[in-house]
Amino acid sequence: MIGLLKRDLHLIISDKKNRFFFLLYIPFLLLIVESYDQKWPYFIILYTYTYLIAITPFSYDMTYKTSYMMSSLPISRKEMVLYKYLLTFIYFVITVVYAGVYLWIINTLGITTVDYFNLEVIKAVIPVILISISFLYPAYFRFEPKIAQIVHMIIFISSFVAMMNVANLGENSLVSHIKFLSDNYILPISIVLYILSLLLSMKLYETRDL
């Protein structure tokens, strides 16, 4: 798992576009985007960063066929899938720490107040990340890169649109009217979905020709 974590972080840091994105995305959302509810920019920041760290290695594997090399290393396919799913939580912790430090600096410099970055936001974003990844990973572990890329675009854009919808319209948004997404059910549903997705990905990746 350490090897996969090292790989993912190295890939994020070594890419110039990613570095710029990580540096500029927070000020962009906080200072430029106006939100109905102040907590939503923080929600989007945590979601996007975690999602980006998760997706970057897959993008590389697509471009450079590096999955040949990774799958030739002493790690079973089941382990590779399991670790990838477990690493989502580590990516999330890294994101929370990074965003927390970044926002603390912004707050200290008096640029803007960041009081809405709190445990409530952190708790609320977890199910959304789990649900997105639950759909994303099986696509990458099974399909050809181009199809997986389409699934990624659909998931990312629809999640983003949904979040922007809630951010701009609050209780009048479409997402707020979907009953099963209410606070009581969304976390257990997302956890069950995540576990099912893990089992599905293991099965799919084990039988896949690279």
Q: Cα angle vertex 169, ends 166, 170, to 5°?
A: 60
Residue with tokens 């995305």: 25
Q: Residue 38: what are its φ and ψ, rounded to 5°?
A: -60, -25
Distance of CA 92 to the CA centre of its chain: 8
Which is nearer to other proteins, 68 or 185 (by Cβ)? Answer: 68
Among the residue ranges 9-17, 139-147, 171-179, 193-201, the one whose residues contact other proteins (CB under 8 A): 9-17
Q: For the stretch 150-184, what's the b/e string if a residue is b when 16 or more beta carbons lie within 10 angstroms of its beta carbon?
A: ebbeebbeebeebbebbbeeeeebeeeeeeebeee
Q: Please identify, using beta-carbon distances, which residue of 57 and 138 lies nearer to other proteins.
A: 57
CA atoms within 13 A on the CB side of 33: 22
Which range, of 29-37, 57-65, 130-138, 195-203, touches other proteins by CB under 8 A?
57-65
Residue whose CB is less far from other proteins, 15 or 37: 15
User: Which range, of 75-83, 107-115, 151-159, 190-198, touches other proteins by CB under 8 A?
Assistant: 75-83
Q: Which stretch binds other proteins (CB under 8 A): 25-33, 72-80, 99-107, 155-163?
A: 72-80
Are 202 and 193 in contact by the 8 Å Cβ rule? The answer is no
Cα Rg of the chain, angstroms: 18
Query: In this chain, which stretch among 47-55, 73-81, 138-146, 179-187 interacts with other proteins, using CB under 8 A?
Result: 73-81
Give residues 136-165 in contact with other proteins (rule: CB under 8 A).
Answer: none
Total of residues contacting other proteins (CB under 8 A)? 26
CB of 142 to other proteins, least distance (A): 13
Segment 10 to 39, residues that bind other proteins, using CB under 8 A? 10-11, 14-15
Query: 196: closest CA among 138, 127, 117?
Result: 138
Exactly one of 20, 28, 65, 153 binds other proteins (CB under 8 A); that residue is 65
Give the DSSP letter of residue 182: S
Residue 65, CA distances (Å) to 13, 59, 77, 81 in order: 20, 10, 16, 17
Interacting residue with other proteins among 28, 68, 89, 185 (CB under 8 A) = 68
Closer Cβ to other proteins, 123 or 208, answer by number:
208
Q: Which residues bind other proteins (CB under 8 A)?
A: 2-3, 6-7, 10-11, 14-15, 60, 64-66, 68-69, 71-77, 79, 207-210
